[in-house]
């Protein structure tokens, strides 16, 4: 059964103290799995369909002091003024990197702290720009190696997507009857998908300015730009080394 092992399936919620428009049925979609080639690269099946029982995947986190638990992935939204401020600086710099973004980044962090999003004392922010119409935007595929971000925010001018498995990495290892530390993280994902090629993926639609806050337990995820016409621009928020 899906979810057996170390952890149950991840669920979704709006991050407490945020309001996001749109129905979950329009935000979430499911595919029939993935294929892994001889080089270990993951290729998602492009058979996304609506989720009939989407309400079973979503919780409402209410209450003044509510927090997003590690069992949930949360949707949030930064103000339009902050997203536009980044673009103003990007156009001024003539590129999407450089030393002119410190104030915009500081304003974004200040806003997230004001909303009591769980952030470490030191935060790192990085913007990644990817070509449109690709199934795997980062080029790294769906591996979980390296430092994972705490959250992702769509800075682009059109909706974009994040694709993910709703099983924590240690659950993948449990289903393979292997300890997670005996496998390289990226090897774990490829091995799991070879054994379970019909494991469904979820696709999360994020409008401009919207983001997805991830679980500290680890999330197998990637950006997904299939069908986009414009550059995919994502802000990655993480803890500083």
Tokens at residue 84, please? 């536009």
At residue 173, does pLDDT exceed 70?
Answer: yes
**pLDDT value for 239:** 85
Question: What's the whole-model pTM score?
Answer: 0.88
CA–CA distance, 72 with 10 (Å, rounded to integer): 5
Q: What is the pLDDT of residues 109-121, one digit of tens each?
A: 999 999 999 999 9
Q: Using alpha carbons, list the distances in angstroms from residue 204 to 49, 75, 121, 187, 207.
A: 12, 9, 28, 24, 10
CA–CA distance, 93 with 78 (Å, rounded to integer): 22
Q: What is the pLDDT of residues 57-79, one digit of tens each?
A: 999 998 888 999 999 999 999 99
Long-range contacts formed by 227-230: CB under 8 A, 24+ apart: 227/133, 228/132, 228/133, 228/158, 228/160, 229/132, 229/133, 229/158, 230/132, 230/156, 230/157, 230/158
At residue 183, does pLDDT exceed 80?
Answer: no
In the predicted model, what is the mean pLDDT of the chain? Answer: 85
CATH topology of domain 11-239: Jelly Rolls (2.60.120)
Q: Phi-psi region for residue 113, left (φ > 0), alpha (ψ -120 to 50) or beta?
A: alpha
Give the pLDDT band of residue 150 (cuts 50, 70, 90): very high
What percent of the chain is predicted at pLDDT more than 70?
84
At residue 26, does pLDDT exceed 80?
Answer: yes
- pLDDT mean over 9-18: 95
Q: Which of 75-79, 92-96, 203-207 has the lowest mean pLDDT?
A: 92-96
At residue 140, does pLDDT exceed 70?
Answer: no
Report the helix count and the strand count for the chain, using DSSP H and E.
Answer: 5, 13
Whether 234 and 155 have beta carbons less than 8 Å apart is answered as yes
Q: Which of 49-58, 142-151, 199-208 has the lowest mean pLDDT?
A: 142-151
């Amino acid at each position: 059964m899906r979810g057996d092992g170390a952890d149950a399936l991840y669920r979704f919620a709006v991050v407490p103290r945020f309001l996001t428009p749109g129905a979950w049925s329009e935000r979430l979609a499911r595919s029939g799995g993935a294929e892994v080639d001889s080089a270990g690269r993951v290729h998602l099946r492009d058979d996304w369909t609506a989720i009939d029982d989407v309400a079973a995947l979503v919780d409402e986190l209410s209450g003044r002091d509510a927090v997003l638990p590690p069992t949930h992935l949360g949707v949030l939204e930064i103000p339009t003024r902050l997203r536009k401020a980044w673009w103003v600086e990007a156009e001024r710099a003539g590129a999407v990197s450089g030393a002119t973004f410190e104030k915009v980044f500081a304003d974004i962090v200040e806003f997230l702290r004001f909303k009591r999003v769980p952030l470490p004392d030191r935060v790192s922010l990085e913007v990644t720009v990817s070509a449109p119409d690709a199934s795997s935007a980062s080029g790294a595929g769906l591996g979980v190696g390296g430092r994972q971000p705490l959250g992702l925010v769509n800075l682009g001018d059109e909706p974009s997507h994040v694709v993910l498995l709703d099983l924590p990495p240690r659950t993948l290892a449990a289903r393979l009857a292997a300890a997670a530390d005996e496998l390289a993280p990226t090897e774990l994902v490829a091995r799991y998908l070879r054994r379970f090629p019909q494991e469904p993926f979820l696709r999360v639609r994020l409008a401009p300015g919207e983001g997805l806050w991830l679980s500290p337990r680890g999330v197998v995820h990637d950006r997904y730009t299939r069908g986009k016409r414009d550059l995919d621009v994502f802000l990655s928020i993480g803890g500083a080394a």
